[in-house]
Structure formats: C-alpha cells, structure tokens
Amino acid sequence: MQIWNSMEEVPESFGPCVVTLGNFDGLHRGHQEVLGQVRAEAARRGALSVALTFDPHPAKIHRPETAPEQIMGHADKLAAMAELGLDAVLVLPYTLEFAQQTPEEFVRNVFVDGLGACAVVVGHDVRFGKGNTGDLSTMVSLGADLGFDVVVVNDEGHDRRWSSTWVREALRSGDVDTAAGVLGRAHTMSGEVVHGAARGRELGFPTANLSPDACGIIPSDGVYAGWLTDTDGHRWPAAISVGSNPTFVGVSRQVEAYVINRPEESVEDFDLYGQHVVVEFVQRLRGMVAYTGPEALIEQMHQDVVDTRVILG
C-alpha cells in the first residue's frame, strides 16, 4: 500500500480511483465495511482503491480541549489499513488554513484534480468542507457537476451503529469484549518498554512497562488477560495490569504486562527493555484492589496467571 503525506506526493496523472474519506480512528467494523466497499467498487471499475484521512484529527485543531482520545496511534492505523488491501492512503495535514476550503474547493482540489476519482464512497452522515457545510446531497451534486459517481454505504441492520465513540465507552468501563466486537479484533496499545520501579521483579512477577507516551487508549484500571508481541514478532501470553496499583503508595498509572511462558524464569534472560511492543487486551479478569500487603497481592497475582492461561488456552 502506498502512503502519501501530502498532495504533492501523489503521482502525476494518478487515477482513475475510487476514494473515501474519514478519520478512521480505531478502524472499527464500520470503517472496514466502507473500505471493503471501496475495494470492491474499484475492482468492478478497474480502478485503484484509495482512502483519504487526516493528521492530526480535525478535532485537535478546532476544539483541542475536548478532542476525543485516539483509540490507536497514527502509524498503527496505517498499518491496519494496509492489511485491508487498499492501493493507497492519502494523509493530509489538517490545519486551520486547510479547513477554510469550501466543499467544492475541497472536492475539486483533492478528489478530482489530485486523485482523478471516478467514484466517491461515503456514508449517509458524511460532512466535509468549511464548517462541515458539505453533506451527502452536496457530494451528489458535486459528483454530477465534476464527473464522478457517489456510492452510499448502507450501514443499517445493526442494533447500534458501529462507531469510535462506542469503542471509547467500552474501554473506559474495561469492557474489552464489547470493544473487540465493535473493532472486529482485540484492542491494542503499542509503545516502548521502559524501566519501572522493579516492584514486579521483587514480587517474582517481572513486567514489561509501557512508556507513558504509548499509543492507544488505556482501558479502565484492572487486570486483563492478553498478549504481548515483541519486536521480533513473537506473540507471548500475558497478564496485563492497568492502573496505579493501590497496594503501594505513590505509584503513577501505568500499563505493565507479565509475560507467561517465558523461555527462562530469570528476567535477565528475557529482556524487553527498549523494544517497541504491542499489548493486546483479550478479557478483563478483575478490577484493581488494594491488598493488605505484598503476600496477599502475590497470591492474587498467581491466580491471575492461572486465569490468564485458562482464557488464552
């Protein structure tokens, strides 16, 4: 999949193509349906399949104080889009100046002159152009004037429309099962493994601590069964702790994964420090509890490992 980070990177005379637009945060099942229809429509027309997205998220420019937390990092989103078989993704830098384009200017500059679109795939609620004044009827009218078809995705037939908002709600409550149902896969975070307080090692459960700037929404505090994929692509079962660990005073909120079935029991023989890893949340085991002391916590951690093994098989 080709990735272009500006209109200037799009090859001259590119097209014809079938294109859609969106933020695609989380790349949930609704997004996957849209992109699948783009691919199918492109194949039917003998055209290329393209998705247009923005960086940063427009909300971070227009209302940074209330912009939603991103479900996944930008690089992770592009990697997931590549797995769907698109020919190209155009990532346009989103600025206040860019946002001043009228709906017609935006469509003409990007879809027609830039990409040579023969068809645009959109949902019923599509909005675009200055002040989001462009809608579905606007797109249809522009298509008739500028020479492209508009294909409308039918997202009916579900009890609740798949959305990034639904995923965020589920993760904030620790309901990773529901989040996975909307996403079509388990929720993940990615980031560098950094040194922590080494308290897990002292307790006999050395953990891989994700950097505070790791990408992806942190689920609600608690312990989860899941997986850790290391830099080499090896996927390890893991018991994942999220929170500040109330048994100990002064511990900041963090995500740490205890890898099960390590090749050796000694942490020195299994060093993940500095690696960029992916942590996958499969099922919530329990909430975060303040125990009376380290002994009670260790006993519970042993049980967490047993429960994780059962869940992951």
Catalytic residue numbers read 256
Distances in whole angstroms, Cα of residue 162 to Cα of each of 29, 52, 257 = 7, 20, 29
Distance in angstroms (rounded) separating the CA atoms of residues 18 and 306: 49
Nearest to 48 by CA among 85, 79, 76, 95: 85
Bridge partners for 121 per DSSP: 20, 151
What lies within 8 Å, CB to CB, of 86 at 6+ separation is 1, 35, 38, 39, 49, 50, 51
Give me the phi and psi of 102, to 5 degrees please: -70, 165
- The string of DSSP codes covering 247-277 is TSTTPPPEEEEEESS-SSSSGGGS--TT-EE
Beta strands 222-229 and 235-243 are antiparallel
Bridge partners for 243 per DSSP: 254
Question: Hey, what amino acid is at 63?
Answer: R
Torsion angle defined by CA atoms of residues 251, 72, 153 and 157, in that order, rounded to the nearest 10 degrees = -30
Question: Hey, what amino acid is at 249?
Answer: V
Distance in angstroms (rounded) separating the CA atoms of residues 159 and 98: 36
Give me the numbers of helices (H) and strands (E) for the chain, helices first please.
9, 12
